[in-house]
Amino acid sequence: MSPRERPETSLDRRAATALLLEGRDDLLVVPGLGSATWDCAALGDNPLHFSLWGAMGNASMIGLGLALAQPARRVLVLTGDGDMLMGLASLATIATQAPANLALVVLDNERHGETGMQLTHTAYRTDLAAAARACGFADARQVADEASLRASLPLVHEAPGPVFLTVKVKAEPLPRVLPPRDGAFLKDRFRTALLGENTAH
């Protein structure tokens, strides 16, 4: 099968990430490997970001465990289409738990960015927002321009979850901006920032 004609998108992934995270320093964020992690790092290092350098397919479920443990805090999983496709079954798991405080946002460039920009299934027929809807998400949408993304910010940050947003972004390789790579450090730093020194260790 040939890839379908790419839908027009005017969105740059770093600008989209900035729109999603600006002024939201208290948000608990799980950036998926690898591009989403670099996108978040490009905005500055934040201890409440648990940035993944690996664990492909797992970002959404880390977000679920975190959201269930912290029901009073908004949790955002910000990942790519490759990571979401590898953890696709987790959409069903998350919909069944129905955490009101969890948002999944996929920056969808229809490519595996870390391995050489090879096409993913979203370049063919797969619609991730439709999959989330079919699995039972409270709301699931797709945007491909800045106005629509801005209009979806209340969905991401305030609407009762679980909510899902596909953000179609340009397929462009960008310079990597690297957060710390020591996973144990990232974990302990996150817990210290969220739970305080006394309960974190």
194 lies in the site for another protein, by CB under 8 A: yes
38 lies in the site for another protein, by CB under 8 A: no
Closest CB to another protein among 70 and 126? 70
86: left (phi over 0), alpha (psi -120 to 50) or beta: alpha
Amino acid at position 92, single letter: A
Amino acid at position 51, single letter: S
Backbone angles phi, psi at 91, to 5 degrees: -60, -40
137 lies in the site for another protein, by CB under 8 A: no
72 lies in the site for another protein, by CB under 8 A: no
90-97 and 128-135 helices cross at what angle (nearest 10)?
40
Q: Tokens 């490009």 — which residue?
A: 42
User: CB under 8 Å to 173, separation ≥6 — which residues?
Assistant: 113, 117
Closest CB to another protein among 10 and 97? 97
Residue from the set 16, 18, 67, 172 that interacts with another protein by CB under 8 A: 67
Binding residues for another protein, how many (CB under 8 A)?
37
Piece in contact with another protein (CB under 8 A), picked from 36-44, 55-63, 122-130, 154-162: 55-63
DSSP 8: P
- Residues of this chain that interact with another protein (CB under 8 A) are 28, 30, 50, 52, 54-70, 87, 89-90, 92-93, 96-97, 183-184, 186-187, 190-191, 194-195, 199
